[in-house]
Structure formats: C-alpha cells, structure tokens
A and B are shown apart, each in its own frame.
Chain A
Amino acid sequence: MNNLAALPAWAALITAFLVLLGAGLALIGNIGLIRFASFYERVHAPTLGATLGMLSILAASIVCFSALQTRPVVHEILIGVFVTVTTPVTLMLLVQATLYRDRLEEKDPLEKRAAGDTAA
C-alpha cells in the first residue's frame, strides 16, 4: 500500500479539490435524476457525473499517484476513453427501449409526465 502521509501538501490539495469537484458533479447529476420529470430528461442528468465528474476524479488520481510514485502515472486516460466511449451506448439503448415502450403504450414521447410513472 502506498503511504498517503508521503503525499506532498500541494499534491494533496489539488487531489482533494479535484476529488471533491468530481464527487460534487456526480451528486448534482444524481439530484437531477430525481428532479427531472420525464425519462428523456433524466437521461441527461447522470452524464454530468460520467463526463466532467469522471474527468475530475481521474485527474485527481493522476496527480495523486504521479506525486506518490514520482513518475507520471497515466493509466487513467484509458479509463477515461473507455467510459466516454461506452456510456453513450448504454444511454442510447436505454432511450431506444423507452421509445419502444412508449410506442407500445401509445404515448407521445414528447408529452410531459409526472415523475414516477416512467421508471424504466
């Protein structure tokens, strides 16, 4: 295990800021998930965490481990690439499924609905 006490203060500050920023963005996205009314709106909210939030946390990770191991640690870029590539797939499939469901139930996808009856 890496000894976190060995982390220099400047790196610790940057890491802490970035981690909290990422966590905050993810939290905002999740609040949005609850607050938005229709499924189509809700799809957008969590992407905040999956993009900017994820980037902040990955940046924090890069800073933290680069400082700890005194060499550039950039594995996280791969994580970023894969999350960026695969998250839209999930969302697209979810939306397709919802569109299908609306057709089945003969509802207009654009119609505003009360939260609660569109849970997937």
Chain B
Amino acid sequence: MPDAALYLTILIALPFVGSVIAAFFPTNARNAEAWLAGTVSLTNLVITIMFLPSVRNAKVVRAEYEWLPDYGLNFIARLDGFAWCFSILIFGIGFLVVLYARYYMSPADPAPRFFSFLLAFMGAMTGVVLAGNLIQLVFFWELTSLFSFLLIAYWHHNQNARDGARVALTVTAAGGLCLLGGMLIIGHIVGSYDLDVVLASGDRIVSHALYLPTLLLVAMGALTKSAQFPFQFWLPRAMAAPTPVSAYLHSATMVKAGVFLLARLWPVMSNHEYWFWIFASVGVLTLLIGAFMALFQQDLKGLLAYSTISHLGLITLLLGLGSPLAMVAAVFHIINHATFKASLFMAAGIIDHEAGTRDVRRLGGLFRAMPITATLAMVAAASMAGVPLLNGFISKEMFFTETIESHGNSVLDNNLPYLATLAGMFSVAYSVRLIDQVFFGPAATDLPRKPHDPVIWMLVPIGLLVLICLLIGILPGPTVGGFLATAVQGVLGPQLPSYSLAVWHGFTPALIMSFVALIGGVVTYFTLKTYLSGNIEGAPVLRRLKGKRIFERAIVILSWRWARRIADIVGTTRLQPQLRLLLLIAMLAALWPLSAGALASGALALDVDWPFAVDPSFVLLWIVGCGCALGAAYQAKYHRLAAVIIMGGAGLATCITFAWLSAPDLALTQLLVEIVTTVLLLLGLRWLPQRLEDTGVRISFGARLRRLRDLGIAIVGGAGLAAIAYAVMTRPQINSISSTFLERAYSEGGGRNVVNVILVDFRGFDTLGEITVLGIVAITVFALLRRFRPARVSVEAPRQKRFQNQFDADRYDAPKAGIAAHYMIVPGLIMRLLFPVVAMMAVFLFMRGHDAPGGGFVAGLTFAIAFILQYMAGGARWVEARLRVLPVRWIGVGLLVAAATGLAALVFDRPFLTSAFQYADLPVLGRVPLASALVFDFGVFSLVLGATVLVLIALAHQSIRIYRAMAAAKAAETDAIEEAR
C-alpha cells in the first residue's frame, strides 16, 4: 500500500478532526452530525480494510514522527494484525452505533456535543490500538477515560449520570496513572518505549527484578479499564450513559482496552507464574461474580453490564492462562462478544425507547408488539448464552477446552473446568431470563408507552451484527478464519498454534460442558423465576458486597475528611500566621548555608572596618530615616495616618541617600514612588475601621508572649537582612556584569543613561515581564476593590467630615458641594493649572530618559501624579466629567506596544526585543536619539500610568459607591430593628 504512513496517520487524526468540526454544528443538526460521523468511521473502516494485505502473516506497518527524539520518544503509529482487528471493531461498530444514535437521540438532545465526543473517543481508542510507543499508548488510554467520562455524563442534568461519570473517571484514570508507572518501568528495563523494541526484548522483563511491581502496575491499569474484580463497580454505574455509548464504549471497545493491553504485552510478560495467578484468578472471579450478579439485575442495561463484566473476566482468564491456544480463544471471544453485546445493548435501547422502561419485571410479551427487534435480540442473547450455530458457542467451546487443559497443575487450574461450567450456567440463565421475561409471558399492561418496532434504520445495525453472529456461528472457517488468524499472528507471530474453527468437533468434554451449562442454566432460571420476579434488588449474598459504597466511602475520606484535616493542621486562612510562616521559612533558608559550617570558616565574616569615611550629615540623615521607620512601626497599630506620614520621612531619607551616592535615577524613582504610594495609602486608610488604643480589656499573658515572639521574629529577620546586605556590599565584586553594561550602554544600546538602557534594552525581557505583572496586579486590585464592602463602622462618613458638613450647613444658606467648593478654591485652581505643567514634565522625563535620568517608568509615575492632583482638587466626579480616564485601555496599549516592539525585531531576523537606534533632527526638539527602545519605553510609560491611575480610581470610586452601600446598610438596620420588634 503506498503512503502507508500517511494513511495510518489519517486513521488517528481523522476522528479528532471530525470531532472538532462536529462541535461547531447547530444544536439540532442530527442528520448532518450523523452523516459526518458516519463518513469518518466508514472512511477509516475502508482504509483499515485496505491495510489487510500489509498486516497479514504478522507483518507490521509503522509511521514514525519525531516528537522528543532526545528522550527517545517518537510519535509512532503502528499497525499489526491485532491492532488491525481492533480497528475493524472500532470503526465497524462505530459506524453502526452512529447510524443507531441518529435515531436514538431525541431532537431535544444537543447533537454536536454527543457526536463530537463520540468521534473524539473513536480517535482516542484508535490512538490506543495504533500506539507504537508505550507513553503514547498511556496518553491515548487516559484520553479514552476522559471521553468516556464526558459521554457518560452526557445527560448531565441527571444526578446518576454525573455520579457514574465521576466514578468511572476516578477508577479508570487512576488505573491509567498506575499504567503509566508500569510503562515507565518497562521502558527502564528494556531501554526504549518503542513497542517493537519492547516486543523483541524476549524474557528481559520477566527475568528482571522489577517484574512484580511492573506487573502489578500494568494489572491495575488493565483491570480497572476492563472492569475486573474488584474494580467492576464502575461499569454498571456507567450505564447512565445514552445507550449508543453503552453499546460502543462499555461493551465493544473501551472496556476491551484492558484486555487489549494484556494481549499486547502477553508475549513479553506472560511467561511467569505471577501472571497466571493474577489474571487467571481475577478473571475467574470476575467471570463468576459477573454472571451471578447479572442474573439478579432488574434493569435491562444493568443485566447487560454485569454480563459484559463476566465476559471480560472470561477473556482475562484466557489471557491469564498463558498458552497460545488460550490466546486464540481470547481474541476470538473479543470479536464475538463485541458483536452480540453491542447488538443486545442497541436492542435494550430500543426497548427502553419504545416501552419507556428498562425494568425487566415490568416488561413482558414484547414479542407480539415488536417482533423484529425481539427476534434479533433473541438471536444475540442466544449467542451470549452459547447456543450452538451461533458465534458465542464456538468461542465458549474453545474456552471450555482451554480450561480443561492443564496450565501448571495448581488448585485453581484443576478446578477451572467446574468453575467455568458454573459460570456458563449462570450465563445461560440470565440470557434465558432476558428472552423470557422481556419478550414472552403475558403482555405488559402498565407500560408508559405503547411499544412497536422502531424505524428500519435503527434495526439495521442490530440486524447486521446479528447476521455476523449467525455467519460466524454456522460457517466459522470461511468467515472469520482469516480475520482471526491475522489478529492472532499480530500477537503470537507468524507461527500459529493448531486450532480448528468448526461447529462440530465430535463428542469432546467441552461439548459436554456446553450442554451441562445450557441445561443447567435453563433449569436454574425456571427454578428461580418466581424469586426473580419478586421485589429484589441485586444478587443475594453479593448484594452486601457494595464496591460502589466502599469506593465512595474511600473517596469521601480521602478527598474530604483527610484533606480537610490536613488543611486544618497545616493551613490557615488568617494573614498573620501566613506571613509569620513565610518569614520563618525565609529566615531558615538564609540560615541554612550558615549552619553548614561556613560561619566557622570565616568566609561569611562581616568586614566591620568602615569602607569609606562617613560624613556626619549623612549619619544624621540616616538617624532621621531610621527614626522615621521605627516611629512608623510604633504608630502603625493605632495611628495609621501618622504612620503613613512618618513612612514618607523614611522614604525621603532613602531618596536623599540615592542622590548622595550618585544614583539620580533611583532617587527620582524613589521620590515619585514615595509620593504615589503615600497618596494611595491615605486614600485606602479611609476604609479601615478605627482601632481603639484602650479597649478596657486587659491584655492577657499569652498575648503579650505572642507579641514578644513577633517582635523577636521582626528583629532577627530585619537584622539578618541588614547583615546580608552589608556583607554583600562590603565584598569586592567578582565578575560583576555591571562593567559590561557600562561599556556597552552607548555603543550597543545607544543611550548614555545606563540604567535606562539596561531596563529597556539589555534586560528588556525582564522589564516586559515586570510590566505584565504590574498590569495584572493593578487589574486584580481593581477587581478586588470593586467587590469591596467596607466594615459597618467605616460605612458612615468619618466624624471629622460630619463635623465639617454640619459647620458648613450652619454657616452657608445653600450648602455647596463638599469641601472642594469652600476650602479648595485657590489650591484647586492651582492644581488644575499645574496639570499641563506636570504632563509636560512627564514628557520631558520620558524623552530624555535614554540619555539622562528619566524614562518610561518615571514619566508614567509623574503623569499619574498629575491625575492624582486633579482628583484631589476636584473630586472623582469632577475629573471624570472633564477628562477621559481610561486606565485599563492604557494598560492594554502599553503591554501591546511593548510586546509589538519586541516582536518587530523578529521581522528583521533579530532575537526578540533587539533594539535599533539612531539620531534624528526634529523641529523644535532638535537632535534627539531615536531608539526603538523608546517605543518600548512608551509601552512601559503607558502601562505604569494606567496601572497607577487604575488603583487610584479604584480607591477614589469607593466614596461614590459608598452612598449605595450606606443606603443598603440603613435598610438592613431598619430590617433588624423591625425583626427585633
């Protein structure tokens, strides 16, 4: 086949592409959706069939794409006979299910979601079977779990659907996680994740010391997916899904992924007694429990679900036996089970649709009402029971033969034939029950609807599948022989064990077992018939074994109780302990290198010789600065206003220090930051409730102790930080990068202001990140303050303001609007007139930034101060009536401009944020440097301005919104008083 790689890729990609397209169809486009999904599955089916010559006789088709070649991980699509057989199931049954779903889904159901998920699942499942790489297999494996979750919860208004989906996802995805672990160990043992390399590794995995953990992890993955004991409970709960989903995912394909995986790894992992013990015992347990439970189900789909579990157990058991012949039987039964179970599910869906109920006890005599459906379902059920001349009979016969064979002579092995016959009996019994109670007996009278056969297109998929059951059952050799051989060769290699596909093998022990099971099953059913029709829920004895209940308890304990307890112990919602923890951890981290002996070696000793002669006025400045800092800390609790003002003093001391040490850029920035933060803090103080210094409550000893502890933490932390700073600054700098910056600022960045060149050029990417953070912070502050509700005590105007208002009201006949009108006339006028001046100053600082102290950040802050002045002079309403204040837009423009400048460099084939510069002669301004960094700096300017103003208006608007809050508070108070009466 030419272009095999391309077609293999199409097999995986096409369903996903279809899924995306399907998602965009109108809600009620059932026909279009079905056409799309049908075309996708049919196309893939045809492609798969065309691959048949390429995969015969154990040949393999591969398509490899580089993914992470450094890690030995490539995306590999790999098709062998076994994967081919599964692909036929996926696309063939997928097509029939799509056809069926077109008529099953009601017009009220949103069709795009259903078909989109279904196609995506089809792609994921194809990815699993075509995976040529173990990691890739796990990836698609988890995808199938995810889409199964989404499909089970399709009717998400239904509580059962949601719960079932959650349980299914938790169980199968947890299994997938284990599987990933197992695959990683296999990759470690073999040295490659490539499936072909793994399959060619012979006995290396089995003989490796890590075989048992690997096996357990892989088993966890396979057993959860295939709903094996003790994980079987998720499958019946998944029956809340729409029936096409149950037919497709939960009988024909997804649940087979577990056994698919076991078969896949069978050649390299099964040659060990652990394999036999785990899978044979789990398989036989599941087979028995599933069949037994199925007999006692009252829900038609529940019955089929338990039957599916039982049949999957049968396949697991066959795979666990570890003989090639059992492998043949397993593959054969996978095919057969998919055909008869999918058709039975579809029939169950029709019955549910037509009769309005799935309760087996309420149904009855449907053969007269819907003869075609009944006939088809009965044939499929007979196949499930293993009646001769149907496909189920042949694979069951092979199964019985295999159980008789000896596989190690253990207790389990010796008793297998009896257990298998017992399970066969139950299987027959529930099949007979299904046929008898649903289709025969007295016609049900109290059905919600009057049942009749559905439209022909709903019956066609079932009919086709039943036809296959019959054909395989009557003429197994010609119909399925080649197919089966191809599939088995994919696993076992070209040498097939000798087996014969025939209906009649003579009077073998297996035939006797079959007949014992058939007769025993019929007898069992008719013995229990009255009991079953009674008011029972679930099987006797095993009813108490509620996997679901245990699972839910475990989930509640794990994800709720323990999680909460841990959160209670190690977490807190209070700010103070969080900060304390943060500080303590930081201090411990700083102490860590000291404890390693570095302190003793003298490497960290502080150089106490003053490195420079100290100017007395500088010392005085620092005494004032430190005094301010201490005063601010001292006043912070009860006199916040004083604390904020004194903080400004400390800031000014820092500012002068910068200027003193010849850092005009820093001094300028510090000054502006100080102004802006002080104003914003003052605005915020208004909304904090007042703290009373003397509340009359005696401070307890514990509280005093806590305060002392916090004081200690503060002193140690601050002193430590000071020591670190001192130690760093008094040490000679080794390989400092600063000299490079100084040398290159002008030659490469085109600016004489090194600080600015570093910000906008050398470290432009850092700056971009920083302004992004700044923008996010500003928007977050704004969002938080929009929802801010001040404390009750802060809602009312403060005492001072009320006093002033009272005074104004007494003094003036017609009170004008607020303080601004009376007391701010002259200052307000001057502030307003200063707006263009300050703005000009900002432009000046911005333009000269590349060569002299200034730049976008400083200019942005200056411009923001111009706005702050306007707000102070006129109030928020006055300013916003006259100026267009759009800080969010400014932030956006700033970020876009900065990023676009960086990207522009890419156009010229330079790295991101490379800057270009040259001088230009402009009118009026003269010769100015024009670096592309200037545009970037404009972005910084705009963002800083926007962020500052946004925070400003967030605070300023509180006093506008507060009137609403006051009204609400008053209303609440009135209500409370009313209630009190």
A interface with B by C-beta (< 8 Å)? 82, 85-86, 88-89, 92-93, 96, 100, 103-104
Q: Are B823 and A103 in contact (CB under 8 A)?
A: no
Contact indicator A85/B830 (Cβ below 8 Å): yes
Least CB distance, B872 to chain A, in whole angstroms:
10
Q: Which B residues lie within 8 Å of A86 (CB)?
A: 830, 834
Q: Let me know if B807 and A89 touch, CB within 8 A.
A: no
- Map CB proximity to A onto B798-813 as digits: 1 under 8 Å, 0 otherwise: 0010011001000000
**Additional A-B contacts beyond A89-B827, A93-B827 (15; CB < 8 A):** A82-B837, A85-B830, A85-B834, A86-B834, A88-B830, A89-B826, A89-B830, A89-B831, A92-B826, A92-B827, A96-B823, A100-B800, A103-B807, A104-B800, A104-B803
Tell me the chain B residues, 328-358 only, with Cβ under 8 Å from chain A.
none
CB distance from A66 to the nearest CB of B (A): 20
Annotate B832-849 by CB proximity to A: 1 below 8 A, 0 otherwise: 001001000000000000
- From residue B423, how far is it (CB to closest CB) to chain A in Å? 94
Give the distance in Å from the alpha carbon of A104 to the alpha carbon of B799 in the complex. Answer: 10
Measured between alpha carbons, how far is A89 from B872 in the docked complex, in Å?
13
Residue in chain A with minimal CB distance to B837 = A82
Closest 7 pairs between A and B when the two form their complex, measured CB to CB:
A89-B827, A96-B823, A89-B830, A92-B827, A93-B827, A92-B826, A104-B803
Contacts of B834 in A (CB 8 A): 85-86
B830: which A residues are within 8 A, CB to CB?
A: 85-86, 88-89
Cβ distance B798 to chain A, nearest Cβ, rounded Å: 12
Neighbouring A residues of B826 by C-beta, 8 Å? 88-89, 92
The contact sample of 21 A-B pairs, CB cut-off 8 A, is: A82-B837, A85-B830, A85-B834, A86-B830, A86-B834, A88-B826, A88-B830, A89-B826, A89-B827, A89-B830, A89-B831, A92-B826, A92-B827, A93-B827, A96-B823, A100-B800, A100-B804, A103-B803, A103-B807, A104-B800, A104-B803
- Nearest B residue (CB) for A1: B662
Nearest Cβ on chain B to A83's Cβ, whole angstroms: 12
Seen from chain B, the residues whose Cβ lies within 8 Å of a Cβ on chain A are: 800, 803-804, 807, 823, 826-827, 830-831, 834, 837
CA distance A100 to B822 in the complex (A): 12
- CB B345 to nearest CB in A, in angstroms, measures 83
Residues of A within 8 A of B823 (CB): 96
Query: How far does the alpha carbon of A86 sit from the alpha carbon of B829 in the complex, in Å?
Result: 11
Residues of B within 8 A of A96 (CB): 823
Give the shortest distance, in Å, between A97 (CB) and chain B (any CB): 9
CB-based nearest A residue for B831: A89
Contacting residues, chain B, for A89 (C-beta < 8 A):
826-827, 830-831
In the complex, what's the smallest C-beta–C-beta distance from A73 to chain B, in angstroms?
Answer: 16
CA distance A90 to B42 in the complex (A): 84
Per the bound structure, the CA–CA distance linking A85 and B831 in Å amounts to 10
Chain B, Cβ-Cβ closest to A100: B804
Task: Determine the chain B residues whose CB is within 8 A of the CB of A104 once the complex forms.
Answer: 800, 803
A86–B804 alpha-carbon span in the complex (Å): 25
**Which B residues are in CB contact (< 8 Å) with A100?**
800, 804
Q: Which of A85, A88, A89, A100 has the most chain B CB atoms inside 10 A of its CB?
A: A89
Within the complex, the shortest CB–CB distance from B211 to chain A, in Å, comes to: 79
Report the minimal beta-carbon distance from A43 to chain B, rounded to whole angstroms: 15
Beta-carbon nearest neighbor of B819 in chain A:
A96
> Could you say which residues of chain A place their CB within 8 Å of the CB of B837?
82
Q: Which chain B residues lie closer than 8 Å to A88 at the CB level?
A: 826, 830
B469 CB to closest chain A CB (Å) equals 96
Closest to B825 in A: A92
